A = this chain, B = another copy of it.
Amino acid sequence: MTEAAGPGACLGILGGGQLGRMLALAAARLGLRVHVYDPAPGCPAAQVAWRATAAGWDDAAALAAFAASADVVTYEFENIPLGALDAVELLRPLRPSRRSLAASADRLEEKTFLAGLGLATAPFAAVDGPADLPAAIAAAGLPAVLKTRRLGYDGKGQARIDAAAGAAAQLAAIGGGPAILEGFVAFEREASVVAARGLAGAVVAYEPGENLHEAGILRRTTVPARLSPRQRAEAVLIAGRILNALDHVGVMGVELFVTRTGLLVNEIAPRVHNSGHWTQAGCVIDQFEQHVRAVMGWPLGDGRRHADVEMVNLIGSEADAAEALALAADPAVQLHLYGKGEARPGRKMGHVNRLLGPARG
């Protein structure tokens, strides 16, 4: 399908966490029906979807029925088992495409792709096993971070390497490889660009945000980021270059390190991105609707922001009843909760978008 799927069409979403939930809500605003596929019954997105299938990623019959019910299929995370993607793609367009997934699901392919575009990244080297460590350390420098090539998120599957001595044991601790060693970058701050590319190639970028991570988890995004006009323009151009190189269709998050020598690309995510949640309060068309518009073949919405916003994730018990009601009482706060039952430590339960004032700068 290369044409727009009209109102009333069905969007299939692989993965039913908070990103799937907010995609489903945005799709519903546009009159679309949503079918969510996730192994977990009663997942956050299933609670708000027209249909939900709770079945495993290896359930070929369930995947086929899911795909058949949808006009277009998208996903909320980049680590969906490849067999499941194959089953869906037999029947319906998958957007963003496998190419966008391949360039982001494997950290070594991701860095290689970015470097191939001429974009600056942290120094990196492949580590297929302990024998590769000495050369990798020489290439990437120390300190460095050893990361599994696939999977791992929010700081999981990573180990900081300060000396060659313990590196082999740390590699073993994260699974023994295949891994990637990334040299530390002395960055001044972290920023990200959330941008979308439509089916016909139009690109719309949101204002870059400034991100603060804690323990490997995004804690806060502030918009606008503290960037010079030149850095801001460069950030948006980098995102456009990546989106176009991949013929990406949908939203993408591009994480950047701001250093004294320029912008480095840290990682890319071929989906709506935690650092784009501020658009719900700062823009008329938020990143979720933008993604839905893109994958359904609709025109992209305006990306301009009308307000400066600080987004703060609510992690673990920070979204418990008393805390949530106290946040709701703050007149500058827009509260979002994900309908997750158990508030485990480190689990993203919701977020707040705090209005800082009308857009400036």
CB of A324 within 8 A of chain B?
yes
Q: Does A114 contact B (CB under 8 A)?
A: no
**A69 contacts the other chain (Cβ, under 8 Å)?**
no
Most B CB within 10 A of own CB, among A29, A325, A331 = A29
Query: In the complex, what residues of B have CB within 8 A of residue A25's CB?
Result: 25, 28-29, 48
A218 to chain B, nearest CB (A): 19
**9-residue interface stretch from A160-168, A241-249, A337-345:** A337-345
What does the 1/0 interface line of A327-361 toward B look like (CB < 8 Å)? 01101101111111100000000100101001000
Is A30 interfacial (CB 8 A cutoff)?
yes
Chain B binder among A137-145, A176-184, A231-239, A300-308: A300-308
Q: Is the CB of A341 within 8 A of B4?
A: no
Choice from B339, B353, B358 contacting A358 with Cβ under 8 Å? B358
| Chain B residues whose CB sits within 8 angstroms of the CB of A30 once the complex forms | 328, 335-337
Residue of B nearest to A337 (CB): B31
| A348 shortest CB reach to chain B, Å | 12
Whole-angstrom CA separation of A350 from B307 in the bound complex: 26
Q: With a CB–CB cut-off of 8 A, which chain B residues contact A299?
A: 325, 328-329
Residue in B closest to A357 when the chains form the complex, CB atoms:
B306
Q: With the chains together, A48 CA to B304 CA distance in Å?
A: 28
Whether A319 sits at the interface, judged by CB under 8 Å, is yes
Closest to A355 in B: B284
Within 8 Å of chain B (Cβ to Cβ): is A73?
A: no
What is the minimal beta-carbon distance from A222 to any residue of chain B, in angstroms? Answer: 17
Residues of A272-302 at the interface with B, using a CB-CB cut-off of 8 Å, are 281, 284-285, 293, 298-299, 301-302
A31 partner residues in chain B, CB cutoff 8 A: 319, 324, 336-340, 350
- A8: CB under 8 A from chain B? yes
The answer to whether the Cβ of A1 comes within 8 Å of any Cβ in the partner chain is no
Q: Is A95 part of the contact surface with B, judged by Cβ < 8 Å?
A: no
- Inter-subunit contact A334/B285 (CB<8 Å): yes
Name the B residues within 8 Å of A328 (CB-CB): 30, 293, 298-299, 301
Give A residues with C-beta under 8 Å from B.
4, 6-8, 21, 24-25, 28-33, 47-50, 281, 284-285, 293, 298-299, 301-302, 304, 306-307, 319, 321, 324-325, 328-329, 331-332, 334-341, 350, 353, 355, 358
- Pick the 6 closest A-B CB pairs, nearest first: A31-B337, A6-B321, A302-B331, A299-B329, A28-B48, A47-B50
Supply 14 further A-B pairs (C-beta < 8 A) apart from A7-B319, A302-B332, A306-B307: A4-B321, A6-B324, A7-B339, A8-B341, A25-B28, A28-B48, A29-B336, A29-B337, A284-B332, A285-B334, A299-B325, A299-B329, A301-B334, A306-B306
